[in-house]
Amino acid sequence: MKPVLYSYRRCPYAMRARMALRYAGIEVEIREISLKDKPRHILQCSPKGTVPVLVLHDGTVVDESLDIMEWALAQHDPDGWRRDIGLAMPLITENDGSFKRALDRYKYAVRFPEQPAETYRKEGERFLATLEARLSGHRYLLGDVLHQADVAIFPFVRQFSMVDADWFAASAYPALRSWLHGLVDSELFTGAMQKYPAWVESPEPGNQLA
């Protein structure tokens, strides 16, 4: 029996998990869910109700995207995505913390009217500038070989770039742009973005029509 991955195609956390699983060559049953109508089983496995959630055949539940990446890489990590984790972790932490916060405010600026969208964009740009500096000397964030950090971070930068594509195309981050385009065009990403119909949960035994 394959492990089950509850997923949502456009979720950046789910993207990083799906990419790590593909890279590690682990086949999973992807269950595409609606965030507005979550299946009972995902909530039974992980009451916090976020995707991605990986359920292993022995019932073990892994319900944080970075833990799913870690689990996948512990099974198989052919290119050493976990090297220099001491350098990678602060970047990933900043991505998931202050950058994600700025991204949400920039993307949904109408819901955060305290500041104009440009202010939130400027907050996010602090992280973009850090990435640009790293990418100016290397193809990827930790050198010339793809790393867990690239895969963990780029789905969020992709979202940021799409809020105002014209602004991003003219922005002061050329190395970041070519890094992003390379990852978006990669087989690893396109393969992980395959479309699945929404997973339909079978009815609870008690609710079944006779």
| Binding-site ranges for ligand GSH (CB under 6 A) | 8, 11, 13, 35, 49-52, 64-66
Are the CB atoms for 44 and 59 separated by under 8 Å?
Answer: no
**Nearest distance in Å: CB 143, ligand GSH:** 25
The amino acid that residue 93 corresponds to is T
Closest CA to 87 of 37, 128, 142: 142
Minimum separation from the CB atom of position 50 to ligand GSH (A): 3
Nearest approach, Cβ of 106 to ligand GSH (angstroms)? 16
At 47, which amino acid appears? P
Which residue lies nearer to ligand GSH by CB, 35 or 74?
A: 35
**For ligand GSH, which is the closer residue by CB, 66 or 135?**
66
Q: Cβ 176 to ligand GSH, closest distance in Å?
A: 22
Comparison of 49 and 174: residue with beta carbon closer to ligand GSH: 49
> CA geometry: angle at 186 spanning 127 and 146, to 5°?
55
Residue 179 CA to residue 173 CA, distance in Å, equals 10
E-strand ranges in the chain read: 4-7, 29-32, 53-55, 61-62
Q: How far apart are CA 120 and CA 111, in angstroms?
A: 12
Q: Which is nearer to ligand GSH, 65 or 161 (CB)?
A: 65
**Smallest distance from the beta carbon of 153 to ligand GSH, in angstroms?**
12
For 89, the token pair is 């972790």
Closer of 54 and 128 to ligand GSH (Cβ):
54
User: Residue 118: how many CA atoms within 13 Å on its side-chain side?
Assistant: 1
